[in-house]
Structure 1
Amino acid sequence: MQKFEIRVYKQELRTRFKAIRQEMAPEDRIESDRRILSLLCNTWQYHSADTVVTYVSTPLEVDTKALITRALADNKRVAVPYCVDNTRDMEFYYISSIDELKKRTFGVLEPVAEPKNLVTDFSGSICIVPGLAFDRQGYRLGYGKGYYDRFLADYRGFTIGICYKSCMTHLLHRGRYDIACDMVVTENEHILCRKTRRE
């Protein structure tokens, strides 16, 4: 019997779900992004959060730039990731505008690492988590770099994955370091995932 290789399995899925996203019509993507933002911002978790911790989207991902703008307009603090050189670690820094971000690691927009803006206390926050795909238990298919797996291992706030419905799957096989999100939001629904739900 052939041995199951989770790395090979995940790489095959990455190829599949990247293709799905690349084939989305621009107008469908824009509408899906709008609907995901609307559903996300209507959750009580968003309304009650003082801080929104979020990734900064690339063209392949569910848009978060509109979320950043919305959260700042809602008088929330917004923190985005900075990839620490020569590690698989991220630090998060508060920003007050998208214009403060600069292209850096992997061509992704990142904040300037100003010590005064470093987040040291994540209490009162929610974290918006990226992924190429999610299952209905909240587990995600990431990009294989491990940055979010490391961060989420110690993060104690409420986590929300955002995903296109076409990239949802019933079940993702997972490794020992994979951590489920508390909720996943698509353009159609929000799914509470963990058996111990923090409602």
Structure 2
Amino acid sequence: MRKVDIRAYKNSLRDKAKAMRRGMDPEEKAQMDRQITDRICSLYQYREAQTLLCYVSKPIEVDTIPLIQRALADGKQVACPRCVEGTRQMEFYRIHSLDDLEKRTFGVLEPKVPGCEKLTDFTGSLCIVPALMYDLKGYRLGYGGGYYDRFLSGYDGYKIGITYRRNILRFLHYGRYDIPVDMIVTESFFRLTDRSRLHGRD
């Protein structure tokens, strides 16, 4: 069996996913982003969650700003990631509005510190996980920084991966330390993964 060069394989997929997203019609993307937000907010897991852990999207990603605003309006505690300078780690800080965010690592909006409270208790939380691609088992292709991989290795809450249907593959090569999400949500469907079924999460 031919050995796969994982690094080259992932970089090739990243290039394809980025090219596809950059080529999307803005109106079509906005519609799909709204559909993804609506699907998430219709889920039992969202309704029952006390805290939403959510990344703040870049233009190439599924737009999470409406989801953050909706969760705040629904009375949920919302926390967004902030990269720890000089490391590949990130921490989540609670925000009360979009005004609590500032441009920082890689030009991404992150919680202001000081000003925002670091979240240390993840009980009752739901984590929205970004990716360029997912496979049907819930494994993800990220941007290669490893920030979410490190966080998810110690996170035991429910994880929902969001992406576009065109960025779903049947299979992704993954490592022993990669953590799959419990559910995948796209603009056209949501799907429980093997991890969710294995742990009885629905």
* 2:89 is the alignment partner of 1:89: yes
Q: Aligned residues, how many?
A: 199
- SS for the counterpart of 1:80 is strand
Partner of 2:36: 36
Q: Distance in 2 between matches of 1:24 and 1:175?
A: 30
Q: Which runs of 5+ in 1 are unaligned?
A: none
8 Å CA contact 1:92, 1:119 repeated in 2: yes
Residue 90 of structure 1 and its aligned partner are, at CA, apart by: 0.4
Counterpart-to-counterpart distance in 1, 2:2 and 2:165: 32
- TM-score, with length taken from structure 1: 0.97
Which residue of structure 2 aligns with residue 79 of structure 1?
79
Distance 2:77 2:132 in 1: 26
Provide the residue aligned with 1:48 in structure 2: 48
Contact persistence 1:82–1:113 (CA under 8 A): no
For 1:198, the equivalent position in structure 2 comes to 201
The Cα offsets for residues 34-81 of structure 1, whole Å up to 9 and x where unpaired, read as 000000100000000000001000000001000000000000000000
Shift of 1:176: 2.1
Give matches, 1:3-152, under 5 Å. 3-114=3-114, 117-152=117-152
Q: Deviations over 1:73-118 (max 9, x none)?
A: 0000000000000000001000000121100000000001238610
Question: Percent sequence identity over matched residues?
Answer: 54
Runs of 4 or more above 4 Å deviation: none
Q: Which runs of no fewer than 5 residues in structure 2 stay unpaired?
A: none
TM-score by length of 2: 0.95
Q: Give, in whole Å, the separation in 2 of the partners of 1:102 and 1:112.
A: 6
Q: Per the alignment, do residues 187 and 67 of structure 1 end up closer, same or farther by CA in structure 2, a change over 3 Å counting? A: same
CA contact (8 A) 2:132 2:142 kept: yes
The 3-state SS of whatever aligns with 2:153 is helix
